[in-house]
Structure 1
Amino acid sequence: MIQLTDLIATVAGEADDVLVRLTRAVELSGQLSELGDHLVGHFVDEARRGGASWAEIGESLGVTKQAAQKRFVPKESPELTKPSMDRYTQRSRRVIALARHHARFSERIGTEHLLLGLLDESGGLAAKTIAKLESGDGSTRLAVLHRLDAEPRQRPDKQPYSTHCKKSLELAVREALRMGHMFIGTEHILLGVLLAEGGTAAAVLNATGVTHAAAARHVESVVSGPPQALPGA
């Protein structure tokens, strides 16, 4: 268990100025709260994969079934509220914009559009990871474009992000926190997409040889080192 004395020592060791220490303590408090949320979310996801009902999960959390679902089930919506976009790197923000562009004739913005955005941002670590792991040069792009060819091409008035897309971005945050990063890079989005097992992008990536385990190993080998606070790829 994390001890208060350990946290105090951590903050005190980072700066001599008392106001800088206070600012750092506030930042650390927010990070710990977020880590706690994602810790619970991880085990909620595990319980669901294990066959637990929302009623059972709610009982374990001390809330109603409806409250548990409201907290942990992403809903389609036109906005992205978690995490705040200021934590996305410039490349990741372009990925989101590119995903919306690729989805301009679709009913919703899905993980397949997010994947195309990752591939378009060719300088990002996600695109480089896919290129290294995919079974054939360009096979992932061809596979996802083939999926999109079967969709009707008529843009609705309100175009929401799909539940799988929003879940992928939630899992991207969890992957960033697991790696000790306070930014959301393209590599984290890729890992989140791969963890959202019901999404089209995860199915395409797995079919072309890009698995979460292999992608995580490659990403971690590239970014290995002390925890980072500055934007990455």
Structure 2
Amino acid sequence: MTTSPVQLTDLVVAVATRHPGGDPLERLTAAVGLSEELDELGDHLIGHFVDEARRGGASWTDIGASIGVSKQAAQKRFVPRESPETQVLSGPSFDRFTERARRVVALARHHARFSERIGTEHLVLGMLDESGGQAAKTIAALEAAEGTTRLVVIDQLDRTSHVPAEKQPYTSHCKKALELAVREALRLGHGFVGTEHVLLGVLAEGAGAGARALTRTGITHENAEAHVVAAIERAMLSAPR
């Protein structure tokens, strides 16, 4: 029998440490919250290896069999589809988004007002507009020349349709990028989803127009992550104890 890398004792200690000497009901509430976090973490863990299996050439039939569901059920769970904005950031994951990250999504919607869909390219413009966020600072530090990322994205938008749909859906690329933003935050051990995680999500998704624009200006997932991690470490060291 395989031993779980997460032991019950560790979880009990984590709850007790957060609420030392606290009311038993407070600890119970904290335990429920931690259980929900673990459920979400488990979903992203499975999603990570589903993505890996797909990149390795596994069929949806094989993936479904591996997780004990049908091909159709596996696709429904793990294949992002174009969906209305209200269905993209639903559930507990949205609660992790910082105010800046939520503004990025709102700004993306604003930039897409003359487009048929809200795509990752609009997310990039939203990140750039939220200039105080870590994503904008990371782009500014890594792009080939000042302002080139915005110019590349705008050039891409000039080549696309400018007829807005009655109900503007998020593209499948955009929906996947926002899902990966949560996964990036969890992978880095951060309890929040900031603009920097949205940037890493767009880059991790890789196939959308936003990722292509960032790559053209010299921004990769590797150098963006290194810059983000270093910036957060500096902020933690300089924060008052």
Shorter chain as denominator, the TM-score bin is over 0.9
Instruction: Verify the 8 A CA contact 1:83 1:170 in the aligned structure 2.
Output: no
Letter in 2 for 1:101: H
> Structure 1 residue 144 and structure 2 residue 153: aligned?
yes
> Structure 1 residue 165 and structure 2 residue 174: aligned?
yes
SS at structure 2 position matched to 1:13: helix
* 76-85 or 216-225, larger mean C-alpha shift: 76-85
Question: Which residue is 1:199 aligned to?
Answer: 208
Instruction: Verify the 8 A CA contact 1:89 1:184 in the aligned structure 2.
Output: yes
| Deviation digits for residues 23-56 of structure 1 (CA, Å, limit 9, x no counterpart) | 2111111111111111110000001111111111
> Structure 1 residue 8 and structure 2 residue 9: aligned?
no
1:13 CA displacement: 2.1
From 33, 36, 40, the equivalent of 1:34 is 40
> Structure 1 residue 85 and structure 2 residue 94: aligned?
yes
Question: Which residue is 1:231 aligned to?
Answer: none
Q: 1:132 to 1:6 in 2, by over 3 A?
A: same
* 94-103 or 217-226, larger mean C-alpha shift: 217-226
> Structure 1 residue 115 and structure 2 residue 119: aligned?
no
CA RMSD of aligned residues (A): 1.6
1:154 CA displacement: 1.0
Question: Which residue is 1:66 aligned to?
Answer: 72
CA distance in 1, matches of 2:99, 2:10: 34
1:214 CA displacement: 0.3
Letter in 2 for 1:30: E
| Deviation digits for residues 176-223 of structure 1 (CA, Å, limit 9, x no counterpart) | 111222221100000000011111111111111000000000100111
Question: Which residue is 1:43 aligned to?
Answer: 49
CA distance in 2, matches of 1:5, 1:184: 28
Question: Which residue is 2:106 aligned to?
Answer: 97
Q: 1:100 to 1:226 in 2, by over 3 A?
A: closer
1:83 CA displacement: 5.1
Question: Which residue is 1:155 aligned to?
Answer: 164
CA distance in 2, matches of 1:82, 1:166: 14
1:82 CA displacement: 5.2
Question: Which residue is 1:20 aligned to?
Answer: 26
Instruction: Verify the 8 A CA contact 2:93 2:182 in the aligned structure 1.
Output: no
1:19 CA displacement: 2.1
Report how many aligned residue pairs link the two structures. 227
Q: 1:7 to 1:83 in 2, by over 3 A?
A: closer
Letter in 2 for 1:179: L
Letter in 2 for 1:153: H
Instruction: Verify the 8 A CA contact 1:110 1:161 in the aligned structure 2.
Output: yes
CA distance in 2, matches of 1:158, 1:14: 44
CA distance in 1, matches of 2:10, 2:192: 24
Instruction: Verify the 8 A CA contact 1:140 1:205 in the aligned structure 2.
Output: yes
Question: Which residue is 2:239 aligned to?
Answer: none
Letter in 1 for 2:121: E
CA distance in 2, matches of 1:130, 1:85: 24
CA distance in 2, matches of 1:96, 1:110: 10
1:153 CA displacement: 1.2
Instruction: Verify the 8 A CA contact 2:82 2:169 in the aligned structure 1.
Output: yes
Letter in 2 for 1:47: A
Q: Point out where structure 1 has 5 or more consecutive residues left out of the alignment.
A: 228-233
Letter in 1 for 2:11: L
What's the TM-score once normalised by structure 2's chain length? 0.90
CA distance in 2, matches of 1:83, 1:125: 23
* 117-126 or 11-20, larger mean C-alpha shift: 11-20
Question: Which residue is 2:61 aligned to?
Answer: 55
Instruction: Verify the 8 A CA contact 2:64 2:70 in the aligned structure 1.
Output: yes
Stretches of 4+ aligned residues off by more than 6 angstroms: none
